[in-house]
Structure 1
Amino acid sequence: MEYKELIKERYSVRSLDGTKVVEEEKINAILEAAQVAPTAVNKQPFHIWIIRSEDNISKLCEASRFDFGAKLFFVVGSDAKNAWVRKYDQKNYADIDASIVATHMMLKIHDLGLGSTWVGAFDAPKVKELFPEMADYELVAIFPVGYLASDAEPSPRHGLRREISDFVDEL
């Protein structure tokens, strides 16, 4: 798929077909997209957890109601202690780097004919309590992933965009 087509067609999928299993090859392709994402000074301060067992999905759903019928989830976290820090103001790039990684994943998910949405509405302290291996990370995103349900469609707001002149100034 051409990049321009990919970025225009991709939308937040909120209805997934939980009966179809995402193939390992597609999971690996999503992880490869994460692996090649650029990070500041190539520090790669992120970690990804795959959640697909019924028990762990149930636990994750205790911290967020936004599962959309998925049977596969990726949780993306940033690692501030291993990130590049801008010397002028001590800005830590961990969350930015993890967000770049997550964006690569999100676009690859769509490119593979799957659907997802970036879930930010979750109780991060609860997730860390339920999954202690995530405790040392800042949790950036949860991606419920799967094949689109027959009723999946973009939000009516999906196509609403500001004019370029509204957010760009030439100096």
Structure 2
Amino acid sequence: MTFSELAKTRYSVRNYEAKAVEDEKLLQILEAGRVAPTAANKQPQRILVVREQEGLEKLKKAANIFNAPMALIICGDRKNVWVRPFDQHDMIDVDASIVTDHIMLQATELGLGTLWIAYFNPQVLRDAFQIPEQLEPVSILLLGYAAGAPKSPDRHVTERKNLNETVFYENFPAL
């Protein structure tokens, strides 16, 4: 499968089979996150794997997890993140998102479904999993085997904007 085919195959899964993700696949997925690029190679990502029923029940208090059999809570370490010197903007969200994307695409290649969750209550998450203050929860990635028919890779023809609506050369037009 080419990268383009992989990217078009991936879709947001909101219905999962009650089947556990194999340890071998989980390790491959986590390795994809480990090798993801981060600003200045600071590697601020900290990932909490949640796959036991007790943990999944706690997670449900912070977000809708669509009965996924596993979730990864992707955090960034505020004490270990690159900060742009011009405006003091830190790259914690960017780094965690790159890691999440690598993990998500690796999971797709391995035949797993994913759902990137940004709509969650961070304080409930912190309390439930004793997330230290220096760690910033950025996303939750649900993982598992998708139930039901997958979305068509051809959906991007109608569900995505054309390049001429999102890409500009040399200068942006007046908006």
Q: Is the pair's TM-score, using the shorter chain for normalization, greater than 0.5? A: yes
Deviation, 1:152, is 4.3
Distance in 1 between residues matched to 2:28 and 2:13, nearest whole Å: 19
1:16-95 to structure 2, matched below 5 A, reads: 16-18=16-18, 20-65=19-64, 67-95=65-93
**Residue among 120, 123, 126 paired with 2:124:** 126
1:91-102 to structure 2, matched below 5 A, reads: 91-102=89-100
In structure 1, the residue matched to 2:4 is 4
After superposition, the CA RMSD in angstroms is 1.4
2:36, 2:98 within 8 Å by CA — same for their partners in 1?
Answer: yes
Deviation, 1:30, is 0.4
1:153-168 to structure 2, matched below 5 A, reads: 153-154=150-151, 159=156, 160-168=159-167
Give the counterpart letter for 2:35 in structure 1.
V
Distance in 1 between residues matched to 2:95 and 2:149, nearest whole Å: 30
2:125, 2:131 within 8 Å by CA — same for their partners in 1?
Answer: no
Distance in 2 between residues matched to 1:143 and 1:93, nearest whole Å: 19
Classify the secondary structure of the residue corresponding to 2:131: helix
Distance in 2 between residues matched to 1:134 and 1:25, nearest whole Å: 29
CA deviation string 1:118-148 (max 9, x = no partner): 0111111110011113543111111121111
1:15, 1:152 within 8 Å by CA — same for their partners in 2?
Answer: no
In structure 2, the residue matched to 1:14 is 14
Identity of aligned residues (%): 41
Distance in 2 between residues matched to 1:152 and 1:44, nearest whole Å: 36
Deviation, 1:88, is 1.1
Distance in 1 between residues matched to 2:122 and 2:151, nearest whole Å: 27
1:16, 1:152 within 8 Å by CA — same for their partners in 2?
Answer: no
Give the TM-score normalised by the residue count of structure 2: 0.90
Moved over 3 A (4+): 152-155
Classify the secondary structure of the residue corresponding to 1:91: coil
Give the counterpart letter for 2:93 in structure 1.
D
Give the counterpart letter for 2:165 in structure 1.
D
Give the counterpart letter for 2:17 in structure 1.
D
1:124, 1:139 within 8 Å by CA — same for their partners in 2?
Answer: yes
Distance in 1 between residues matched to 2:30 and 2:111, nearest whole Å: 15
Classify the secondary structure of the residue corresponding to 1:16: coil
Distance in 1 between residues matched to 2:17 and 2:88, nearest whole Å: 44
